[in-house]
Amino acid sequence: MNNYKILGIIIVIGIILSICAVTISANISSNDNEDNEKYNIATLNAKDLNHSTNTTHIVNLNINQISGGTNIKFANTDSYYNVSSSMQNNTKVSYDNNNDSVNVNVSSNNTDNSIVLSDKYTYIINSNITAGGININATDGNILRFNNHIVAGGANIDLSNGSVYLINNTINTGGMNVIGTPLVITDIDSNINVGGLNIQSDSLEVKSNNIELGGTTLRNISSNDTHNKVRLNSDIQVGGANLISANH
């Protein structure tokens, strides 16, 4: 088998894995909208804490999921979080707080969770998933950092009209799909062992893109000085990357 055929197979593998990532996340979002059997697991309101009214809150959201999916979105609410699940007893939520931050732990297995966050607070999201996916709609949200680790599965992130400053992505087998244009500069550091990366944004700057075995599609990539764009550092061992910027 010649090198071109090998390259083609690898690119197809990367694309398939990227599609799988999108499909997993789409199913999570679809279930969130259509399933009326969601169980409300936990809600934390500002009045539940002993903070002064002038304190600026950082919320550390730690997600540990053995299998299943997580859907995150933002809403105009005073609650730090609202967690609902497709299974009543498979998700556990706990929190602790100090004067300037709230630490939230969401642990689950074999269930799909929906998490609604507030547009009034700043979040650091740490996600560890063994098998499954995570979908984040960052519209109206403020995410200082999203640390994502997946053994097998995918991540889907919509940056449109949201403030996401840093994405650290590590996936063993699977893919990440990023769409939309943020309100700020979003730095993405991505490491994928086997799989694919798809990014489509109005303004995309590729600082580094290393693939050991596979291929890359680049379109309209630029390094302009706009203050709302995606900046990418990517490393893929086996797979492919599809990187598209709508603007030159």
Whether 207 is covered by a domain: the verdict is no
How confident is the model over 13-42, as pLDDT tens digits? 555 555 555 545 445 544 544 444 578 889
The radius of gyration of the chain from alpha carbons, rounded to an integer in Å, stands at 18
pLDDT band at 70 (very low <50, low <70, confident <90, very high): very high
Structure tokens belonging to residue 215: 């291929």
How confident is the model over 169-194, as pLDDT tens digits? 999 998 999 999 999 999 999 999 98
Whether 141 is covered by a domain: the verdict is yes
* Residue 40 lies in domain: 3-192+220-228
How confident is the model over 95-145, as pLDDT tens digits? 998 878 899 999 999 889 999 999 999 999 999 999 989 999 999 999 999
Whether 175 is covered by a domain: the verdict is yes
Whether 201 is covered by a domain: the verdict is no
Q: Tokens 């693939």 belong to which residue?
A: 211
Helix (H, G, I), strand (E, B) or coil at 163: strand
The pLDDT assigned to 5 comes to: 47
Whole-number Å distance between alpha carbons of 35 and 112: 11
- Mean of all residue pLDDT scores within the chain: 84
Q: How many domains does the chain have?
A: 1
**pLDDT at position 9 over 60:** no
The pLDDT assigned to 130 comes to: 93
The pLDDT assigned to 36 comes to: 46
Q: Which long-range contacts (CB under 8 A, 24 or more apart) does 146-155 make?
A: 148/176, 150/174, 153/20, 153/21, 153/24, 153/129, 154/17, 154/18, 154/20, 154/21, 154/22, 154/23, 154/24, 154/25, 155/21, 155/25, 155/127
How confident is the model over 219-242, as pLDDT tens digits? 766 666 788 999 999 999 988 898
pLDDT band at 246 (very low <50, low <70, confident <90, very high): confident
Whether 237 is covered by a domain: the verdict is no
Give the number of C-alpha atoms closer than 13 A to the C-alpha of residue 212, restricted to the C-beta side.
9
Phi, psi of 45 (to 5 degrees): -100, 160
Helix or strand run (H / E) with residue 245? strand 229-245
Q: Is 12 exposed, middle or buried (0-12, 13-18, 19+ CB in 10 A)?
A: middle
Q: In this structure, how many other beta carbons lie within 10 angstroms of the beta carbon of residue 99?
A: 9
Whether 203 is covered by a domain: the verdict is no
Name 247's Cβ contacts closer than 8 Å, sequence gap at least 6. 202, 203, 220, 222, 224
DSSP 138: -
Whole-number Å distance between alpha carbons of 82 and 187: 27
Whether 213 is covered by a domain: the verdict is no
Whether 238 is covered by a domain: the verdict is no
